[in-house]
Structure 1
Amino acid sequence: MHASTPVLPGLPDRQAEMRTGGLYWLACESPDTADRLCTQLLTSLPSSARALLVNAAGASHDLVKAIPAERGPGHLTLFDLPSMSPNRMIQALRQDVPRVRGGEQALWLIRVPHKGWDELVAQSLALWCSRAQDWLRSVGSTLLVVGDTPPPALVDILIRHNDNLSGLAQVYVAQGARHLLVHFWSNESGVTGLHDFHLLDEGSGFRVSPRPDDDGAAPIANDQRQVLAQTAVLAGEAPPTAQWQLFDDPYALLERGMDAQAATVIFALNGSDDVNALATRLYQLRSHCGRSVRLVVREMLQGLRQHEEQLLLASGANLVVPHGTPFLRFLTLVRSIQGHRWQRPLAAEPSTLLARLQPLQVRGSLSPRAFAAAVKKMTDNTVGTEVRHQLLRLQPLPTLSPSVVLQQLQLRRYGDIACIAGEVPYLFLFACSPSLVEAALRNVFRLPWQTVLGGFESVVPSQVLAMAQFQSDAVAEVDATLLDPVDAPPDVEALRPLRPQSISLQALESRQ
């Protein structure tokens, strides 16, 4: 029998071993994590093993160069796939993998990028999984697919097709820690369901941490089914059960919540202006009542930013329900956390969290030196959290100058800043995930951004801000306003004065 175990110290065999003929899938939150786990898996294989590595997300040699000569499988074959669309990649894997000689009685490791793997590839993916599993059984091999940055739809698609998958796991970051979520896993030990593990980065590799200390037995409380909630969270609906106790005033809810042992306490969030005060209430409840109390926030008005949501979670919330969630879905989410214990370390005081997870009180156009300093400060503040920022190198259309691009920006939110460094415009978007960049560009440009930019490139701050272009103190054409947080006015757009521009007749004639 051929069986392979990805060596993650601390991970039970029933969630690690892979059986012969099995097709397994691991979706990672970043390319770096996916690459490192591939290298760690290959390093852990015994010298008697035969493995084949197919890399569609880079060069195979980059994944194996760190494996010591005395470690790893005795026979390792490497293949690279060029960049292609998801459907073409699935088709290439379906056609080419079974043709490879030496693929019998072996472990196949396929590294893929998950960009674009959405509902449009669902049918092709289901067909490939079905055929791949049939082929694996016929040749006595095992296949593990490792991908990075999966879109939200992908995991749902794979779960729907679990009949053709032997296991599905996911690495994600939540509440400042990396987790390994095993959705389901089957091997010779049987089938296991959902399990969530902490995944620790030890530099040389990852390991699964022991389960968090439960502080002894779970407390015996007679309020586990009780729900204490602000009346506003029902949005006009009737209380679902007699166990719901409603409060019109959040301060009255806070006072009553201080007596809770394992109840669910639900606050309404009516806007971004209330985030800091609500974070303080959550912190008070969490520090006083312990980890068994379940704290929920329901967003009643749209506008919660990523860093504000992370502030609420870090202050003690188990769950933040987004604006627009249907009432029945909201109730399902509340029920889904029954029995959960809050696991995140609690900060010494909430002011520390507020300082780390809020942007600097600056927005608009800055000099390159001030821009670099602000970007570094904001990125350093949020290290170790789930807050992600985007530093974009903008590419103006050939007919437009960098200054014209900056004039078209309307940066309303604090932390969103821009500059021109070395005749190149840069834009920093605070708390913006990669999937929302184009939506953010639609919001910050006065005109459709495609009429101003030929494109944009996401760059790493540490690799860009040290360049000589960012040492200039030249004042940008439109200055940002640095504000003390106490005196900062509401986050609204300040209208910029129109500036006349001279245009020669010759230039107009040349365009006709």
Structure 2
Amino acid sequence: MTPPFTLGFEQVRDELMLMQPSGCYWLTANRQEDARCLARQCIAAQHTVTLIASGLAPDTLLSPAPVGGPAAIPLFSLPETRRALHAFTDDLARVLSEKPRLVLFFAPASLWEKLSQDELRLWTKKIQHFLNAKPITLLIISFGSVINALRTRLQSLYRHVDGLAQLDWQQDCWDYRINWWANSGGMLADRALRLDLNMDHFRLLEAEQSTPLTLNDEALYLAEKTVLEGAPPLSSQWTLFDSNAELHNRAQQASAATVIFSLQHNDQIPALAEQIHSLRRTRGSGLKIVVREMRASLRYSDERLLLACGVNSIVPINATMSRFLTMLEGIQGQSYNRHVPGDLSALMKSMQPLQARGYLPLADFCQSVTLLVNNTLLPENGKGLLVALRPVPELKPEQALTLCKPRRYGDLVTLLDDRLYLFLSSCRFSDLNTALKFIFHLPHDEIFTNRLVWHEDLQILSEVRQLTSKVPTAWRDAPAPVAAPSASAVTAPQARRQPHNITLGQDTTT
């Protein structure tokens, strides 16, 4: 009987990581470096393994050599083409023997974009038929910026995929979520583990005690006084404070109360994020933290930062007092279950990765946009907008550039040919006109004749690659060498013109 293969996680129960022979298992990760650690740890735990890679050389996964694993590993490369995917099982049949082994297929998530949903279903079904009655297990590890779309597509393939799990980075730990997993004892589903990385090996992280010791203050409301719009405390359970700082100091002794901060200006975001992060990390998941926007100051990226720091609810500026109180009732009894990273500075840097604004040269512009779009901590297809603007014929592109005044960090502009290229970080498509109104001093509809907008990650990366190809370089822009004239092109010199004497101012009447 062929023994099962293992993922190699430390301190994790066997039924959550053993892979049965003749089975197909699929792991997904946001970041390539996490997927690489998964692959190397799995290889180190095997007696025999075959490695197939697409999009990169397979030997790069083995450098440096993993500690443990088989002495010899067959390596294969698969082209990133639709045709190669369709021929995958035929290629396996030609190169693999019937000996028991684990086949590890390491490929970016973008590879599966080449197949439609029906084609992907037929592909996994074909894999299943190939593995039947063979002592071979196939483990697929995928990664990349479009991983969420792939995960959604894989949810309906449980008939042909024996195991599906995902690994998500949480700044200081990793969430490992098992959708379903087949083992010798049956099928497991809906499991969640928290992992740590030690010496390039994932291991189980002991759960922290986040349940509050007492819940006797769950009926209390601690609030900054302006959130009630000048009204007195609504009951004896309400306590008002003159500032967010005083509220934060009092909330340090709360366990399950409702704490309501006010937001008057965007400059308060860093301090407010620090206060909320501190409360959530020290007081646990029972505390209910609310932020009420008193003036229009919140941006999309700011909302995501506050939510990641531990906010239960954000009340927008257009919410009436009755709506505000209804939202407070709605969060009673809730427990905050999301993980809050311990390093606040790293969290803020990941949520607001671009610390530049305004004009950048084309090369710097392309590099900055590429780094931001490839940030897997930001939402897929929600990192911003790339906008190309063509000025009216009466206006030169350089003149239009002088009218462009980006104010937010992450809003970048560059110039190429007859167009301005804008990247608006964390800007929704529905807010584009509002953003352009604040960026340009004159009505943008009168400055530009047309515009093109890209809002999906793959669209933005594709357009940036085309822009990168137009970045001037010394080699590309060097003048063409002037060829020496041939002998046949040399003509006889023309006769030199002789000068004539001219006397100026001579009197001809004498």
TM-score range for the pair, normalised by the shorter chain length: 0.5 to 0.7
- Structure 1 residues 362 and 95: alpha-carbon distance in aligned structure 2, compared to 1, 3 A threshold: closer
- d(CA) in 2 for partners of 1:163 and 1:45? 27
Asked whether 1:72 is paired with 2:73, we answer: no
SS at match of 1:109: strand
Within a 5 Å distance, the mapping from 1:464-479 to structure 2 comes to: none
Contact 1:395–1:454 (Cα < 8 Å) also in 2: no
- d(CA) in 2 for partners of 1:100 and 1:395? 49
Instruction: Name the structure 2 match of 1:61.
Output: 59
Instruction: Name the structure 2 match of 1:11.
Output: 12
Instruction: Name the structure 2 match of 1:282.
Output: 276
> Letter of the aligned partner of 1:121 in structure 2?
S
Contact 2:280–2:310 (Cα < 8 Å) also in 1: yes
SS at match of 2:40: helix
The percentage of aligned residue pairs carrying the same residue is 26
Following superposition, the deviation at residue 291 of structure 1 comes to 3.4
Following superposition, the deviation at residue 314 of structure 1 comes to 4.6
Within a 5 Å distance, the mapping from 1:188-227 to structure 2 comes to: 188-202=184-198, 204-214=199-209, 219=213, 221=215
Instruction: Name the structure 2 match of 1:415.
Output: 410
Instruction: Name the structure 1 match of 2:123.
Output: 128
Instruction: Name the structure 2 match of 1:472.
Output: none
- Structure 1 residues 386 and 418: alpha-carbon distance in aligned structure 2, compared to 1, 3 A threshold: same
> Letter of the aligned partner of 1:107 in structure 2?
L
Asked whether 1:340 is paired with 2:343, we answer: no
Instruction: Name the structure 2 match of 1:456.
Output: 464
Following superposition, the deviation at residue 123 of structure 1 comes to 1.6
Contact 1:109–1:146 (Cα < 8 Å) also in 2: yes
- Structure 1 residues 428 and 187: alpha-carbon distance in aligned structure 2, compared to 1, 3 A threshold: farther
- Structure 1 residues 165 and 219: alpha-carbon distance in aligned structure 2, compared to 1, 3 A threshold: farther
The alignment's C-alpha RMSD in Å is 6.1
Instruction: Name the structure 2 match of 1:52.
Output: 50
Following superposition, the deviation at residue 71 of structure 1 comes to 3.6
SS at match of 1:66: coil
Instruction: Name the structure 1 match of 2:103.
Output: 108
- The partner residue of 1:261 within 255, 260, 269 is 255
Following superposition, the deviation at residue 138 of structure 1 comes to 1.7
Deviation per CA, 1:43-98: give whole Å up to 9, x if none. Answer: 2212xx2x222212212222234326x8422553222111224xx45423244334
Contact 2:30–2:376 (Cα < 8 Å) also in 1: no
Instruction: Name the structure 2 match of 1:487.
Output: none
In the alignment of these two chains, the number of paired residues is 422
Instruction: Name the structure 2 match of 1:20.
Output: 21
What stretches of structure 2 of length at least 5 have no aligned partner?
A: 225-236, 318-322, 391-395, 455-460, 475-510
- d(CA) in 2 for partners of 1:268 and 1:320? 10
- d(CA) in 2 for partners of 1:162 and 1:302? 45
> Letter of the aligned partner of 1:141 in structure 2?
I
- Structure 1 residues 287 and 359: alpha-carbon distance in aligned structure 2, compared to 1, 3 A threshold: same
- d(CA) in 2 for partners of 1:322 and 1:191? 44
Deviation per CA, 1:295-353: give whole Å up to 9, x if none. Answer: 477999997433x2453145323678999xxx9xx99x979975737553275xx9x98
Following superposition, the deviation at residue 143 of structure 1 comes to 0.9
- d(CA) in 2 for partners of 1:354 and 1:208? 26
Following superposition, the deviation at residue 27 of structure 1 comes to 0.7
- d(CA) in 1 for partners of 2:253 and 2:316? 27
Contact 2:286–2:334 (Cα < 8 Å) also in 1: no
- Structure 1 residues 121 and 297: alpha-carbon distance in aligned structure 2, compared to 1, 3 A threshold: farther
Within a 5 Å distance, the mapping from 1:208-247 to structure 2 comes to: 208-214=203-209, 219=213, 221=215
- d(CA) in 1 for partners of 2:270 and 2:209? 29
Asked whether 1:2 is paired with 2:17, we answer: no
- d(CA) in 2 for partners of 1:27 and 1:336? 34
Contact 1:53–1:76 (Cα < 8 Å) also in 2: yes
> Letter of the aligned partner of 1:83 in structure 2?
E
Contact 2:177–2:190 (Cα < 8 Å) also in 1: yes
Comparing 189-198 with 28-37, which one deviates more in the overlay?
189-198
Instruction: Name the structure 1 match of 2:161.
Output: 165
Asked whether 1:316 is paired with 2:317, we answer: no
Contact 1:55–1:81 (Cα < 8 Å) also in 2: yes
SS at match of 1:192: strand
SS at match of 1:457: helix
Deviation per CA, 1:212-267: give whole Å up to 9, x if none. Answer: 3316x76463688999999xxxxxxxxxxxxxx99999999x79988863477798
> Letter of the aligned partner of 2:41 in structure 1?
Q
> Letter of the aligned partner of 1:40 in structure 2?
Q
Contact 2:289–2:310 (Cα < 8 Å) also in 1: yes
Contact 1:112–1:147 (Cα < 8 Å) also in 2: yes
- Structure 1 residues 14 and 316: alpha-carbon distance in aligned structure 2, compared to 1, 3 A threshold: same
- Structure 1 residues 336 and 156: alpha-carbon distance in aligned structure 2, compared to 1, 3 A threshold: farther
- d(CA) in 2 for partners of 1:197 and 1:23? 21
- Structure 1 residues 318 and 137: alpha-carbon distance in aligned structure 2, compared to 1, 3 A threshold: farther
- d(CA) in 2 for partners of 1:198 and 1:459? 41
Contact 1:396–1:455 (Cα < 8 Å) also in 2: no
Following superposition, the deviation at residue 109 of structure 1 comes to 0.9
- Structure 1 residues 267 and 455: alpha-carbon distance in aligned structure 2, compared to 1, 3 A threshold: same
- d(CA) in 1 for partners of 2:350 and 2:54? 37
**TM-score relative to the length of structure 2:** 0.60
SS at match of 1:11: coil
- Structure 1 residues 359 and 147: alpha-carbon distance in aligned structure 2, compared to 1, 3 A threshold: closer
> Letter of the aligned partner of 1:344 in structure 2?
P
Contact 2:5–2:19 (Cα < 8 Å) also in 1: yes
**TM-score relative to the length of structure 1:** 0.59
Following superposition, the deviation at residue 24 of structure 1 comes to 0.8
> Letter of the aligned partner of 1:22 in structure 2?
G
Following superposition, the deviation at residue 193 of structure 1 comes to 2.8
- d(CA) in 2 for partners of 1:386 and 1:174? 8
Deviation per CA, 1:410-439: give whole Å up to 9, x if none. Answer: 745323345689x9x998968669x99xx9
- Structure 1 residues 222 and 102: alpha-carbon distance in aligned structure 2, compared to 1, 3 A threshold: farther
Comparing 218-227 with 135-144, which one deviates more in the overlay?
218-227
SS at match of 1:115: helix
Instruction: Name the structure 2 match of 1:498.
Output: none
> Letter of the aligned partner of 1:29 in structure 2?
N
SS at match of 1:135: helix
SS at match of 2:464: strand
- d(CA) in 2 for partners of 1:19 and 1:25? 13
> Letter of the aligned partner of 1:140 in structure 2?
P
Following superposition, the deviation at residue 285 of structure 1 comes to 4.8
- d(CA) in 1 for partners of 2:143 and 2:401? 34
- Structure 1 residues 341 and 128: alpha-carbon distance in aligned structure 2, compared to 1, 3 A threshold: closer
- Structure 1 residues 459 and 53: alpha-carbon distance in aligned structure 2, compared to 1, 3 A threshold: farther
Instruction: Name the structure 2 match of 1:291.
Output: 285
Contact 2:389–2:452 (Cα < 8 Å) also in 1: no
